[in-house]
Structures are given as C-alpha cells and as structure tokens.
Chain A
Amino acid sequence: MSRNIMRHVYGWLLLTPAAILLIAFTHYPTVATVIDSLFSKGSAIRPSRFVGLANYAMLVDDPIFWKVLTNNAWFALGTIPTSILLAIAMALLVNRAIPGRSLVRMAYFTPTILPMIAVANIWLFFYTPDIGLIDQAAGWFGFDGHNWLGDPATVLPAIIVMTIWKEAGFFMIFYLAALQNVPPELEEAARLEGSTRWYYFRRVLFPLLMPTTLFVMINAVLNSFKLVDHLFVLTKGGPDNASNLLLYYIFESAFSYFDTNYAATLTVILLGLLAVMALMQFYVLDKRVHYR
C-alpha cells in the first residue's frame, strides 16, 4: 500500500523540476498568447482592454498578413520537394561503395551544421548586385547584373535556393538510415527479373522509403515556419515584404512596432497551423505503424 503511494510521490517529484520550466515557457505562454490576442494594444493614456475578436478582424484585413502567409506557403513548396529529391539522390549516391565516399558524404552534410546566420552571410555576397559572385559569373557570359535580393520577383527564389543548400544534407541522413534497412536481396531479385535500375527505384525502393519521406516532409514543413534567421541578414523581410515570413512578422510586430497584442494574434495563427500539422503527424505516424 505504502509502496503504491510512494510510486506516485516519486513520479511527481522527479517530474517537478522539468514540469515547472515546461509550464512557465510553453503552456503558460501558449494560453497567455490566446488571451492577449483578445485585448487591445495598451498605451500610457489608454490601458489595454478586452476587444473580443477585433484583432482577428484587423488581421483578416491586413494585406501584410496574407502576404507573409503566402510567402510561407511558397517557401515551403519551394524548399521541401526539391530538398527531399536531392536528399534521396545524395543518399543513393553515397549508399554504395564509391571512392572517397566519406568525403562526399561530408560535403553533403556540412552545410547542415552551420548556423543559418552564417549561411546567410556567405550567400549574401553571392547575391550582391554587380560585384557579387553570381553577377560576376553572369558577366563572364555577357549577362547583365541583377539585384537578386532587391527584386520582389527573385528574392524568395534566391532564399529558397540557399535553404535547399542548407537542408538537403540533413534530410539525406534519414534516407541513409532507411536504405540500410532495405534488404539487399530485393535489388538482386529485381536484377534477376531483368528490371532496370530506374524501375527498381520507382516500384520497389521509393515505396519502401515512403515512411521516411512522410516523416521528413512533416518535419520540414514544421521547420519552414521556424526558419527566419536568414531574413535578419539578407532582406529584413523586404523588399516590400516580398520575402517576409510569419515568424519574422511576429518579431517585427512585437519588437519593432511594439504591438504585442497584434503579435499575439499572429502567434495564435502560427500555433493553429502548427497544431494542424501536429495532428497530421499523429495521423500519418499512426498509418505508418499499420503499414509496417
């Protein structure tokens, strides 16, 4: 009997230190954000007051909000499928015995361990108009310089290319792990049946890698909402919000425009998006278990 009670006591005592910090920095602020989004921006003469959904009405009418949301969608669409395809290609290339295999794998993986800020610093110079590396290279072939980061049409693609460079090697390691679990007899059998390697990849390997692809995809989508560091160095969200993303807009609203209540409202939208993806992940991972 007493051992039974001790079980609960010990369990909770062991959990308490972590629980306090988790509540203070995850659960409490989540609830507080939702509450704050229902209040108006306070000032010295007019204190903050309850305004119901007024902030959300403002958000629906805010063209920048829709702009950053669309940018987030394009950013995810631009980076994720290409990164995944490249990651699969990289994993297949280094999964067999080739000369200098570990060097090649290192080259693919190295961008992953660099901070996004450092990556942005390196790529900033590539994109600098006229004197930057890309424009110089274009100049050798007789093309004119272009302000890659200053042109609303090219700024997001430029950032997408940089992000793919940073992320593909990270996804590669998950495919490498998955490929190690594919029995080699499958490839042998396919070869004996006379199927081409492309056929083997398309009909055998790719379907087998599907759980990995789903796992990587969901994490990549989540990540794409959190990845804003590069904007601080490259564009500050500009020109004219052409490269702005939701989390960066939250930062701007809170710390540049000092409208914490509007920032809270934007955060609620971000939390909602993340919650939807979390549910999708549960659903997908659930299916993955049945699949096995």
Chain B
Amino acid sequence: MNSLRSSFSNLPNALETVAAWFLALFWIAPLVYAFWAAFHPSQYAVHFDIFAPLTLDNLREALSRAPFLRYAFNTFILVTTILFAQLVLCTLAAYAFARYRFFGSNIAFALVLVQLMITPEILIVENYGTLARFDLIDTILGIGLPYMASAFGIFLLRQAFKSTPKELEEAARLEGCGVFGVLWRVYVPLARPTYIAYALVSVSHHWNNFLWPLVVTNSVETRPLTVGLGIFGAPESGVDWSIISAATLMSVAPLLIAFLLFQKQFVQSFMHAGIK
C-alpha cells in the first residue's frame, strides 16, 4: 500500500522530468540546427540524414567572403578596452560614493543612475555628433567611449565597497596606507566576486552589442563581429544559408565556448548583477 502510494506520488515528478527534458530539447534545437547546417553541405540544410557527409567548406567559404578573423580581433580589442576602462573608472567613482560623503554626492549619484535608464545607444543621434566633433567616427575607441563610465558598474561596486568593514580600512591606514593604498589593498581584493560578475556581464554585453557599433563603424579595420555578421547575413547579400550558419557560429563561438566552460560562473554573475 505504502509503496503503491509512493510510486503514485512519484508520477508527477517523472512527468515533470520528461517535460523539463522535452522543453530543453525544444529550446536548444535552433542552435543544434545551426550546427547541423554549418557542418554539412548545403543540399543537406533541410534534408536530415545521419550519414550526410561532414564538411568544413562552409566555414572556409565564410572566411573567404568576409574578414571574420579581423572582426574577431576588433571585437576582442573593443571588449578588453571597454572592460579595462570600466574597471578603473567605476572603481574610482564607486570608492568616492561609498567612502567619501562629499558635497553633492547624493545628487551626483542620482545623476549617475540616469544612465541605467538612458543607455548611450538611445541617444545615437547626438552621440554620433559628439564623436564626429572629436574625429572619433570609425574608431574602436569611439565605439567604446560612451560605455566606459558605466552607471551599472559604479552601482555594483559601490554596493560591494559599502559592505566592506570600516575596521579594515582603519587598520590599513594605521599601517600607513594612503587613499589609493586602502582602495588597492582593502576594497578591491574584497570585492573580487563583484568584479568577476561585472566583468562577465560587461564582456558578454559588448561582445553582443550591435546598434551603436553599426552606427560608428564603416570599415573592416574597426567593425566588430556583430556588425560584420549583420552585413554578411542581410537578405540582399544573397549568401547561401549554410555559409550564414557557419559565419554565425564562428561569431558566437568564443563567447559560447567560454559560457559552456564557466557555465556556473556565468549564471551566477548574471544573477548577482541583476539582483543587486
């Protein structure tokens, strides 16, 4: 009787497991399909045959039609420049907000938070004009500049710095640390999880960003992967489907592989970043 009851109450659980797996398969299918198309000759694009020959021709063809390696290099330079500048600028500003109750700090903080809502790509018209005045159109620095002072980064780091015990700062001061010594030896090391979370969110955001880089760039030397891919995949370009799939996978591969390797870290970072 008891065992019957328990197996009966296990039924919904089993059903849920099946549902979870079914939904997962359904959810990953578009991506699996892109892999299928990218590594098979184009006549197999909608013809699913287990024995279809595998090929790298689509990748080769995509590489020969557009300089994806150069785009990848540009993206790499772009995200590292942005991240480096963000870490420096946001650390300094967050330190000011967390530890110096300076004149006007509340108003200044409110003004910083405005950027959470009004992100630079919404102001494309004016920001394009600003870049043009400084002769920064079609430069990687130009793509990155509007994002370097990130309200989100300042906000996250300020939270982290605020939760650092004041006693540690006082101890460091007694040891003879100055303003930057305290920041570098006490606050920054203790905020490590926040830095990692912010870095992952920032890198994936700027790896994937499209609209603003599209507006700013117009040459192979500056174009990031997303923009290159956007031009490549536009319907009027008339490129074969399998080749587009290959190009798409190449563009997302670095981030996708990083995600698969550090899945837990990624998910936790997005969670950490979203909730605080």
Contacts and interface: CB of A to CB of B under 8 A. Distances in A.
Interface of A: 7-12, 14-15, 17-22, 24-30, 32-33, 36, 89-90, 93-94, 96, 98-100, 102-118, 120-126, 128, 131, 133, 136, 165, 169-170, 173-174, 176-177, 197, 219, 222, 226, 228-229, 232-233, 247, 250-251, 254-255, 260, 263-264, 267, 270-271, 274-275, 277-278
A11 B126 contact: no
A251 B31 contact: no
Contacts of A263: 125
A246 to B, nearest CB: 10
Contacts of B23: 89-90, 93, 104, 108
5 contacts: A30-B118, A32-B126, A36-B126, A108-B27, A117-B210
Contact of A270 (B92, B96, B122, B179): B122
A24 B122 contact: no
B130 A25 contact: yes
A106 B125 contact: no
Given A93-B23, A118-B251, A136-B46, A29 B121 contact: no
Given A22-B149, A109-B267, A111-B31, A247 B122 contact: yes
Interface stretch (B51-59, B189-197, B225-233): B225-233
A82 to B, nearest CB: 14
Contacts of B275: 174, 177
Contacts of B267: 105, 109, 173
Contacts of A232: 210, 214, 230, 234
A117 to B, nearest CB: 5
B28 A11 contact: no
Counting chain B residues whose Cβ lies within 8 A of the other chain, the interface size class is 35 or more
Contacts of B176: none
A125 B24 CA distance: 21
Interface centre among A19, A20, A126, A197 (most CB of B within 10 A): A19
9 closest Cβ pairs, A-B complex: A11-B102, A29-B126, A115-B208, A11-B100, A14-B96, A21-B149, A107-B24, A25-B146, A18-B149
Interface in B257-272: 259-260, 263, 266-267, 270-271
Nearest to B228: A117
A278 B210 CA distance: 24
Contacts of A28: 126, 130
A8 to B, nearest CB: 4
Contacts of A99: 17
B221 interface: no
B256 A260 contact: no
Given A7-B102, A15-B92, A30-B118, A177 B271 contact: yes
Nearest to A173: B271
Contacts of A173: 267, 270-271, 274
A104 B20 contact: yes
B186 interface: no
A120 B232 CA distance: 12
B271 A98 contact: no
B160 interface: no
A255 B215 contact: yes
A21 B145 contact: yes
B207 interface: yes
Interface string B1-40: 0000000000011001101110111011011011001000
B16 A98 contact: yes
A264 B271 contact: no
A117 B27 CA distance: 18
Nearest to A13: B96
